[in-house]
Amino acid sequence: MKNIELQSILNRCVEKTASFQDFLTLIGLTNKDDLSALYQAAYQVKVNEVGNFVRLRGIIEFSNICNKDCLYCGIRKSNASFERFKMSKDEVLQSAEWAYEMNYGSVLLQAGERVDDEFIDFVEDCVKEIKLLSDNKLGITLSLGEQSRDTYARWFAAGAHRYLLRIETSNEELYKSLHPNDHSFDNRKKCLGWLRDAGYQVGTGVMIGFPRQSDEDLINDIMFFKEQDVDMIGMGPYIEHPDTPMSNSFLEYDAKKQHTLALKMIACTRLAMPNINIAASTALQALDQTGREKGLLAGANVIMPNLTDTKYRDKYKLYDGKPCLDENASQCRLCLEGRVAKIGEKIIYNEWGDSPHFKQRQKHKRD
């Protein structure tokens, strides 16, 4: 693509006048120099809007028991090929306490989706006790799927303040191709509204590069993020899991292409929504050893180091080739600090790391 044309598109992105077609052109870039120009433009926007800082969310994957059956997911209910686990409350609290002592500022509680009372009470207790043990200092993000309006409100009242619920795709037809018939696109969208009503900072995200998804779909996803006015994004490349109905759906899985597509999606999202939080997902690192660093250099600003005890990690594989299964939380921390420093970024400790986007919305509400 001609340098001057690309530059004009990138300028329009910065000036917030870019069209759907402009973003479509960006997501379709393949030339190495063009891609570098895209990543650099997105990185610059990130530095201007959220700084060259990395925010941490220590993930605690506390259970792989799930009542859903998403066709792409390794821990779907119908996959009987591995052992299910559920951490005790003490184990969850120990991980959270470690994060607090290491000054992480924030943790993310994630698990398979359950809506029974025992589960809801368990999460509520964990949230309350994490708040107590950290003197209210540790921020808590939840990623526990579709729940009732009441449950979201209860967990918010207990002390959680951010919630990540990925839509996976904003195209309803494609959504159906990823899920069994009893999974509802409308309900998922409704849940995003309930989360906002309950007071959470709301995050969503999509799977990037799954079968039948087009570039138009991906740009529509970014438009969906804007329409929902989300505060944070957690998205990653689609990676097949062998024990799912969707495995082998590509004739040949091209890891490099998938990785590049995910980086382009991060960069385009940063250009479209300059002051939100965007995670460099672990899945990026599954496809490329320095994948998360590349994600940061393409516009992401959040990393989610795994705090889950190593004895459980290989039982929480949503996709194949998940990295860092043998490294304990301390090893992860050292490794991460080195990786982030190498690219000239700095980890911010002891802060919740809320997005400027959220703070801006709060301010508008008050004014």
Stretch that binds ligand SF4, among 69-77, 117-125, 197-205, 293-301 (CB under 6 A): 69-77
Which residue, 18 or 66, is less far from ligand SF4 as judged by CB? 66
- Find the part of the chain contacting ligand SF4 (CB under 6 A) among 61-69, 225-233, 286-294, 303-311: 61-69
Site residues (CB under 6 A) for ligand SF4, limited to 307-326: 318
Binding mask 187-226 for ligand SF4 (x = CB under 6 A): ----------------------------------------
Provide the minimum distance between the beta carbon of 343 and ligand SF4 in the complex, in angstroms, as a whole number. Answer: 30
Judged by CB under 6 A, the residue of 27, 45, 73, 300 near ligand SF4 is 73
Q: What is the Cα–Cα distance from 189 to 146, expressed in whole angstroms?
A: 10
Binding positions for ligand SF4, 125-184, rule CB under 6 A: 145
Report the residue number, 144 or 324, with the smaller CB distance to ligand SF4.
Answer: 144
For residues 49 and 113, which CB has a smaller minimum distance to ligand SF4 in the complex?
Answer: 113
Decide: is 112 part of the binding site for ligand SF4 (CB under 6 A).
Answer: yes
Closest CB to ligand SF4 among residues 128, 189: 189
The distance of closest approach from Cβ of residue 182 to ligand SF4 in the complex, given in angstroms and rounded to an integer, is: 12
The binding site for ligand SF4 (CB under 6 A) comprises 66, 68-70, 73, 75-76, 112-113, 145, 318
